[in-house]
Amino acid sequence: MAHLPLRVYNNSTISGLATRAAEDFRRAGWPIDEIGNYPHGIIPTTTVYYRPGTEEEAAAKALAEQFGMRANPRFEGLQHASPGIIVIVTNDYGR
């Protein structure tokens, strides 16, 4: 399965968490397109978001399984973001 590029966003109180997570993903062979913060609300748990019915779906589910995260279809606030897999990490990442 192709490892699609990821955009990794921090939605936690832990400084640098998205960078740390992105390094974990990169070491596992996932390319990283962008690292940043997700300031638009509180995401309850670390989640991989994908566009249903696209190649993103299988890749997102594989990433989620590999790292013990959830994989969900994009929610309203992400639906119009550019194509690609979006990972939003929260305080529970890596626990």
Q: What is the CATH number of domain 6-89?
A: 3.30.70.2390
pLDDT in tens, 6-33: 999 999 999 999 999 999 999 999 999 9
Provide φ and ψ at 8, rounded to 5°: -115, 125
* Residue 53 CB-density burial (10 A; 0-12 exposed, 13-18 middle, 19+ buried): exposed
pLDDT in tens, 32-57: 999 999 999 999 999 999 999 999 99
* Residue 94 pLDDT class (50, 70, 90 cuts): confident
User: H or E stretch including 32?
Assistant: strand 32-37
Q: Where are the domains of the chain?
A: 6-89
